Each structure stands twice: as structure tokens, then as C-alpha cells.
Structure 1
Amino acid sequence: MSDPIPPSATPSRGHEPSVCVIGAGPAGLAVARALSERGIEYVHLERHSHVGGLWDIENPGTPLYESAHFISSRTVSGFSGFAMPEDYPDYPRHDQILAYLRAFSDAYGLTERIRFGSAVEAVERLGDFWQVRLEDGTTNVHSHVIVCTGSQWHPFTPDVPGSYTGEIRHSLEYRSPREFEGKRVLVVGGGNSGCDIACDAARSAKRAVISLRRGYWFIPKHVFGLPSDIVGGKGSFLPKPLERAILQPMLRLLTGDPTRLGLQKPDHRLFETHPVVNSMLLHHLQHGDVVARPDIRHTDELTVEFADGTAEEFDVILLATGYRHRVPVAQEYFGDEQHPELYLNCSSREHPGLFAVGFIETNSGAYHLFDRQAHLLAAFIDGQRSGTASAREFDRLRREDDPDLSDGLRFDSSPRHRGYVDADAYVRHLTKLSRRLGWPLEGTAPPVPAPDPERAREHTEARA
């Protein structure tokens, strides 16, 4: 039975309680625009003092580092109706992404509606509503809560076997290659951040080694002079197994035999794990600036022994081992810390009125997916206000529907890939669903010209 709502929390007659959006990073901004375009009342809370989420390197706790760039190209990465500037490089730097996000927020009138410095302590069910409590003790009651706090704030830190006495850090704490100067550095982890940081170490550390527990498929950032996601996207209309049959031999030709560079052969087929989009690591391995080793077997003081029997001393072990998808403001309602249980990766199945955007794990750029999720949820909330049949149908689906979003792929069994979806399959499913429900997945406002990169840079510096 639902808890009673105190009189002060009950909405006055003829007034719908507002939606609460938590977080003003990319996902939160996409949600705010979708809600505002439908005229849906909302409150937007952000604990930091600026827009940008983790893309603001000054935001406490961000995993960002100085050399960070987008791993998807600018032409396929922006929000609908708001392209990234033409003068941006194929893979923009983190400060350019931040400038883009702040320009997007200003262009749609979102910035002035954000309550900065509003850190949420807890979200709690209150009858048919949701109470949001801030760290300063303030509480508000809302009809819907959309959590957009992001998935890369809470590091996964495995134990290092043995008795290592050197410095152990997670990549969350890493900022600059200057931190490696004169040191022997071991980077553990084969994700995109781990490969980037190993390349930083190649240029600044006394010794740079990367430890990978398995083999991976490496996708160059450019193929035939074009961003690889553009080249690969031309085959996205094909079934994934057929697309893989074409691309996998091509990658073997482009990158060669990985064992020549000390890497293991991939123990899985292409697309079955998150892709490593990196050209520079192979370059540094080929030149001996970075050395590849298998998994750590044991440590003793500064000595690290690897699974192949080799051993050497390191001053620093940097764990680029990923993140838990924790939602500390409402963990009890989201369940698994690695993979929140969400219909279409954005709507709670068990708790009506609770949503999340920004927690999808997939094999493409994320902003266009955040955008579609945002418009889907805005249409549902709008339909609920009007009592439409489409809203009732979506409410049924969120409780009962379990679509296959793998496109025929068998994803790896690792924790990261629990709940993983294929981006093409996901978009196709959402497109089909939106047509069935009569809900557009793009904004209704006319496109806004891309921000001038120089003005966007000055805008970001002025806010800082």
C-alpha cells in the first residue's frame, strides 16, 4: 500500500506537480530540451556550478584527463538540430565538447533554468509521488524524477594480488602526463581510457607498460582518411553478423597480427565487447614506447609478475578498470550497481515515475541515444498528463516488454556487458516504437546553427 502524502506535498487542484531532472551533463541537457519543447514543467538540479557534467575538467570527481578526446566523431555525435561546429576536428578535445554543451544549453534557454549548487542527497518514494531531498535539507515532491547523474563517477577498483608497496591509483584520479615523469608506470585495463593513458605514459614516463587480461579488437580512428564510425556506419543497414563478416577481415588487414606487439589475440568476435577506438597505442607499441603484458599474476613490494612469467618493478600501478553504474541518490530503486534495471535503458520497470538517461552501454556515440531517450520520456510524460492511449500502452510495455536489442550478437559475459545493447538495433526498435505510438524522437524546434568555435571557447572561459 502506498504511503500517504502529507497535505503540504499534495498538488493543488488543477496543477500538475513538476518533473525533476537531476544532473546537467549531456543526458540532463537532452532531457531538459525535450521537456521544454513540450511545455512540461520541470525543475533542473545540478550540484556543480556550471553545465557540462564530467566534460568539465574542473568538476570535482570527473574522470576527465587533459588528453581526453571524443572516441566518436563529431559528425555522428551531436544532438539533433544542433550540429557540432564545422571547424571542430574529427575527434574533438574535451574543452571543445564542453563548449558545445554550454552553447547547446544556452541556445535552447536551458542554462537559466538550472539550479546550480543543488546537490541531491536522496530520492524517495512518497505514495504516488517522489520526494527529492537536497544536501541542505530542502525537500520537494515531484510527479516524475529523471536521474541524469552519469555512469563514470564511481570507480571499479579490483584488488592487486600480492603485496605491492608502490602507488596504486584509479584512472579517475589521473589528470596529466606530467604525473608520470621519471616513473615506471603500469596501466591496467584495455578500455579507451586505459589506452589513452598508456599513450600519455609513453611520452612522459621513464617506462610505460600496459597490462591486458585478454585480447581486444582495435578499431583505428580513421579508415581511408575518414572517421571509422562514418565508414562503419555505411554498413549499419546490414545484419550485424554480416557486417562483422565484412569488417573483421578488414581490421586484420589494417592492424596486423596483434601478437607481434605483445598483445593477445581477441578471444571473441568483433562487436561482442565494447570497441577500443584507438590508433596511437598500436603506434607506440610498434615503436617500443609502450610494452604490452598479460594479466598480473602476483606482486611483491615494487615487483609485478605477469601471467607470462615476466616480471619488473613499477613505481605506479594505474587501474583503468572502469566504473560501477551506481545511482547513489536512488540506488534502492535502481537495483544492480553495474546494470540498473531499466526498460529500454531509461525507464524503471518497478517504480512508476522514475527514469534515468545516461546509463546505456552500447557500441556507438551516446548523445544521439540520450536525445532519443529524452524525447521518448517527454512524450510519455506529456501523454500521461493528457491520458492518451499511447501513454497507457507505453506504461504497459515498460512493465512487460523485453525486446532483443542485440541484433544477433552474443555479448561478452563480463559485468560491463550485462545489459549491453547494439546501437543500431536500439535505434531501430525506438524508431518502430515511436511510430507505433505516434511520438517523434526528434525535437520540434527548428535546427539551430552550430556554435562558432571561437565564441564557444570564449563563452566557456568567461564562465570559468
Structure 2
Amino acid sequence: MLVIGAGPAGLAAARALRARDIPYDHVERHGVGGIWDIDAPGSPMYEAAHFISSKTTSGFEGFPMPDEFPDYPNHRQVLHFLRSFADAYDLTDRIETGVTVTDVAKEPTGRWLVTTADGRRRRYSAVVCCTGAQWFPSMPELPGEFTGTFVHSNTYRNADDLRGQRVLVIGGGNSACDIAVDAARTADRVVISMRRGYWFIPKHVLGRPSDVFAAGGPHLPMRVQQFLFGRALTLLHGKPSRWGLQDPDHKLFETHPVLNSNLFLALQHGDVEPRPGIRSVQGRTVTFTDGRSAEVDTIIAATGYRHRVPYAQRYFGDEQHPDLYLTAFSREHEGLYGIGFTETNSGAYKHFDAFAQMIASHLEDKRSNPQRYAEFQQFLRTDRPDLSGGIRFDASPRHQGYVDADALSAYRAKVGRKFGWRLQTGTRRAPGAARATDRVLTGTAS
């Protein structure tokens, strides 16, 4: 079988397969680390980027982030962590880098024909697609003609690039808030434009990371959580309109969480100016829906990404909402899996790890328990669980297929028990021990 991509999802998949002695190939177009390698061509990483979930709730099973890391590691620390994980489980030397997959095609026999950019063709019984959801920018159209520089946030690297400029950041997500605050260090002027209001969650509550604080509290019905935490945020910060932003038009947790402790400070200090949506653009003049205007040299669109799988999109369906059972198993195409293409409201790595374990367990059943393998194949075609966790997610394109982390984890565990799947992480190499250099090639050249 084949694993495509050596970011966090691909590494989790490789570890789960190796722990079960399932032969696999592993290819990566750049190097180990995925988007967290700021030097990889096309990476959306920027120098001020930090993990949004805390180190405590992130990491992999049996391989937590180091204690010496800060609560929210920066991108270089995360990259180091991923590469240490790959080394610890002897995954690194089994990854063939510099290989770009250009096509994955299902053959009448049920096998998958994989073509790479160098012209090679190999056949596999299964393919796990782990190429990530943040490589293909979603670029908005401006209402008019802008004569300055208009770029997506995936090209942003550091504030030095904006020194002395007048900058407009479009968006209300984590990257938009980060970049606006970072740009204010060097730019002459920074404006952030949000079409709607959002809930902003501080990174620490009572001195503890917000996700750690939330996990340690009592389990309450979702509507009670929304009310209590929403009131607490309002008491802590005041309404966003107090600082010139729009107030949320939805309940807490109904959109992707924005964890940021610095934007409100930047607004309070006047370092960042808030504006609503854009009405028109003419030359370098941007007019907003409240009638105010700003002269701008550079517009940065922090407007998200499309969950595109270009080499196999015809099998995944809608690029914003792939039809994957439990976000990982193709319902219609046996042997096709995806990890990391669906968003949820929590740290991603533990979910990547859990799905890697499920996929590997299912593939192990194909070898040792064909009846159970067939039962699951039939089960996933008809089982359509509610993974909302009682949350009425926003109707925007980003939230199509969005799932609640707790609901996803609970149902995933239920399915695992039903089919008797077990966690297997394999043996972790002792620090300082030599790495393995064996490599398994299971693809059949065509």
C-alpha cells in the first residue's frame, strides 16, 4: 500500500502501518514535516506562527510534545517535534522524498494505479492520502480594481516584508489575526477587515492553556457550555464592538475557534484598525461597508484554503466537503483513505493518530480477519452518524462537513469497540540509537 505525504497525518499513518508489519511505500514531494517546514515550496507557514492547540492536548499517542516546549510551540519547534517522531519510530528512512504524485486511478481490478511526476507508475491495493488541507488558497475577488499588491496569506513570511507599507488584512480567522498583529510591528498602518463578528478565545484562562482548562471542567450540555463560556468571554473582554469589531451573529463554538490573546491588545493600543467588509476598491482606495475608506499598498487575504486532492479529486468528491466516513474512509471506493481533510474544533494531531490506527486496523483485518474487514466495508456505506455534538455549525463553506471533536472521538471509539480494533504504536527507538535503513517497496511497476 501507499502513504502520500509526510506531514503529521502521513507520519501517523506510517507508524500505525509499521506497528502492524503492513508493507507500505511512503512518498513526499518535499521533506518530512508538511506545512510546518517554512522552507518547503508552497508552505503557508510564517515566522510568527505558533500552534493553536496547546502542547498538552497535542502530540501523538505515546509521544507527547516535550515538557520544555512553551504552552504554544512555534513552527520550528513543531517541525522539530515531527521529525523527532519520524526518527523515533524509524519512519524517516522509509520515506522517499522529492516524489510528487500526479494521479491516482482506480482500475477495474480494484487496485490503484499511482503515477508520479517523474513518470513512474505503481499499483497498490490501498492508498492513504495525507497531503493536507492548506496548500490551495481560497482567493476572494475584490469589488473593483486594486493597483497595489494583492496576495494570499500563504505567501506571507514576516513583518519585514511590510516595513513602511499601508496594509489591509482580510479575514477573521487565526491566521488573519496573527498576521495583522505581526504586521503592525513594522507597517505604517494595519487595517483588518472582517465581514462578520467572531468569538475570540484567549490562549490562557486562569494561567492555564484554554484547551487544558476546558478539558478539566465538568461535562456540561452544549447549550449550557455555549451560554456560560459565552458570558465569561464577554465579561473578560467586553463585547467585540467595544473595540470596533462586529459582535458575533452566532453562538460560541458554531464557527471555527479563534484563539488569540493579542488582537484585542493591538486594537486597544491603536496598532490595528478594525473595519467591516469591503464595499469597493478603486486604485489604492478601499471603501468599507460602513462608508469609511483607507489608502492601502498591500492587501493580504487570509481567507482560508480549499481541501483539494488534485491527484484523486474525482474519488473524493466536493473539495470543501469530501464524502469520507468518519472523515477518513471513502464510502464508495474500497482501499482509498484520507487523513487531515476535514476540520474540527480541537487540536488535530490526536485525531490524525486515531484515524491512522483505525485505517491500519482495518487493513490488518483484510489480512487476518477477512470477514470483519467485509463487515466494516458494508457498515461504512450506510452508517451516517451525527457528529455535530449538538452544535448548529455555521452555514459558510468552511463549515461544510465540520465536526465536533468530542462527538467524533466518542463515535470513533464506539466503532473501534464494535470491530475489536486495538491501538498499536510499535517500538520507539531509544534516543541516540542508530536509525533503521530498511525500506519496503510494495508497489508493482506498471
The Cα shift of 1:213 comes to: 0.4
- Residue of structure 2 equivalent to 1:208: 190
Please show how residues 40-439 of structure 1 align to structure 2 within 5 Å: 40-48=22-30, 50-127=31-108, 128-235=110-217, 237-439=219-421
Q: Distance in 1 between matches of 2:64 and 2:404?
A: 23
Instruction: Measure, in 2, the Cα distance between the counterparts of 1:323 and 1:143.
Output: 30
Q: Aligned in 2, Cα 1:432/1:238: closer, same or farther, shift over 3 Å?
A: farther
Whether contact under 8 Å (2:56, 2:65) holds in the other structure is yes
The worse-fitting range, judged by mean Cα deviation, of 384-393 and 27-36 is 384-393
Aligned equivalents of 2:377 and 2:87: distance in 1?
33
Distance 1:239 1:389 in 2: 39
Could you tell me which amino acid in structure 2 is paired with residue 65 of structure 1? Y
Aligned to 1:443: 424
**Partner SS for 1:409:** coil
Contact in 1 for aligned 2:20/2:424 (Cα 8 Å): no
Cα distance in 1 for residues equivalent to 2:224 and 2:175: 29
Q: Is the 8 A contact 1:349 1:399 kept in 2?
A: yes
User: 1:312-353: CA deviations, max 9, x gaps?
Assistant: 210011000000000001111111111111111111111111
- Kindly state the Cα deviation for residue 236 of structure 1 after the two structures are TM-superposed: 6.9
Alignment of 1:36 onto 2:34: no
Q: Distance in 1 between matches of 2:426 and 2:367?
A: 21
Structure 2 length-normalised TM: 0.95
CA distance in 2, matches of 1:242, 1:439: 34
CA distance in 2 between counterparts of 1:384 and 1:192 reads: 41
Q: In structure 1, how many angstroms separate the alpha carbons of the residues matched to 2:218 and 2:99?
A: 41
1:38–1:382 CA contact under 8 A, matched in 2: yes
The answer (yes or no) to whether the contact 1:236–1:424 under 8 Å persists in 2 is no
Q: Deviations over 1:398-418 (max 9, x none)?
A: 211100000111000000000
Confirm or deny: 8 A CA contact 2:19 2:426 kept in the other structure. Answer: yes
Instruction: Give me the whole-angstrom Cα distance separating, in 2, the residues matched to 1:372 and 1:381.
Output: 14
Residue pair 1:390, 1:438 contacting (<8 A) in 2 also? no
Q: Which whole-Å CA distance do the structure 2 matches of 1:428 and 1:448 have between them?
A: 31
Q: CA deviation at 1:302?
A: 0.6
The answer to whether the 8 Å contact 1:324/1:338 transfers is: yes
Report how far residue 242 of structure 1 moved: 2.3
Q: Structure 2 CA distance, aligned partners of 1:236 and 1:402? A: 29
The structural deviation recorded for 1:444 is 4.3
State the Cα distance separating 1:238 from its structure 2 match: 2.7
Deviates more, 1:229-238 or 1:293-302: 229-238
State the alpha-carbon separation in 1 of the partners of residues 318 and 119 from structure 2. Answer: 27
CA distance in 1, matches of 2:425, 2:217: 29
Give the letter for the 1:333 counterpart.
Y
2: CA distance, partners of 1:385 / 1:215: 51
Please list the CA deviations of residues 87-134 of structure 1 after superposition, one character each: whole Å capped at 9, or x if unmatched.
Answer: 000000100000000000000000010111111111011121001101
Please tell me the residue identity of whatever aligns with 1:106.
Answer: D
Instruction: Kindly provide the CA deviation profile for residues 177-199 of structure 1, in whole angstroms up to 9, marking residues without a partner as x.
Output: 01110000000001100100000
Normalising by structure 1, we get a TM-score of 0.91
CA distance in 2, matches of 1:447, 1:89: 24
Point out where structure 2 has 5 or more consecutive residues left out of the alignment: 433-446
What amino acid is the match of 1:273? T
Across the aligned residues of Structure 1 and Structure 2, the Cα RMSD in angstroms comes to 1.4
Asked if the contact 2:19/2:427 (under 8 Å) is kept, the reply is no
**Deviation for aligned residue 1:427:** 0.3
Partner residue in 2 for 1:461: none
Residue by residue over 1:156-189, the C-alpha shift from the partner in whole angstroms, topping out at 9 and shown as x without a partner, is 0010101221110000111010111000000000
Q: State the distance in 2 between where 1:412 and 1:387 align.
A: 41
Q: Name the SS of the counterpart of 1:155 in structure 2.
A: coil
Supply the distance in 1 between the matched residues of 2:130 and 2:220 (Cα, whole angstroms). Answer: 32
Contact 1:81 1:446 in 2 (8 A): no
